[in-house]
Amino acid sequence: MHATQSDLGGHLDLLSMFLLSGFALAHAAMRWARRGPATLAAVFALAVGVGMAGHLHGGDVPVLGHLGNAVFAVQLWLAVGLEVALWRRGRRGDGPRQDLRLGVASVGTLALAFAIWTTGMREHPWCRPEALLQQHAVWHVLDAVAAYLLYRHYAAEGVDDSHK
């Protein structure tokens, strides 16, 4: 998308965002409902479909630019809310034991990525299209770091490291 500025590239760029937010939401919903992979697949497909529908419908949204970005943000906030609820459930002994450090690091990294992304918008005084290092590129790198931290958070769930 960024090299060609094509419509197809733009759709694939947003699709990659919905694959991430859809998975985070579906994984949290599956664990919250105490269901299996069929629930994960159904929620994932629904979330990605809703995301793409919002993107294709279009429309301007303050701060976020357009509806596709807003759907991405809502899906991430729902996932974070479910993760917090799962953490509380685990503290009561009625759910998975979770170490929130990696989850919080993931959310913090994504928040930093978003803050940097907003400075690259056309109307922002820091926007410099001619610069070699672009805020949007930093957004992508930090998104990858956030996705890795989220993976590590999921992978560490319920692991008993008390023997260390």
**Per-position DSSP letters for 89-131, written without gaps between them:** HHHTTSS----HHHHHHHHHHHHHHHHHHHTTSTTSTT--TT-
106 pLDDT band (50/70/90 cuts)?
very high
Helix 67-91 to helix 100-118 angle (10° resolution) is 160
95 pLDDT band (50/70/90 cuts)?
low
- Cα(23)–Cα(8) distance, rounded to whole angstroms? 22
- Cα(48)–Cα(120) distance, rounded to whole angstroms? 26
161 pLDDT band (50/70/90 cuts)?
very low
pLDDT digits (tens, 9 = 90+) for 118-143: 888 777 777 777 777 788 888 889 99
Mean residue pLDDT across the chain: 85
pLDDT of residue 128: 77
5 pLDDT band (50/70/90 cuts)?
low
| Range in 121-125, 152-156, 157-161 the model is least confident about | 157-161
- Cα(47)–Cα(109) distance, rounded to whole angstroms? 22
Exposure string (b/e) for 97-116, b if CB count within 10 Å is 16 or more? ebbeebbebbbebbeebbeb
Residue with the bigger pLDDT between 59 and 32: it is: 32
Q: What is the DSSP letter of 65?
A: E
pLDDT of residue 64: 81
For a pLDDT cut of 70, what percent of the chain falls above it?
Answer: 91
- Cα(14)–Cα(61) distance, rounded to whole angstroms? 15
Residue with the bigger pLDDT between 53 and 162: it is: 53
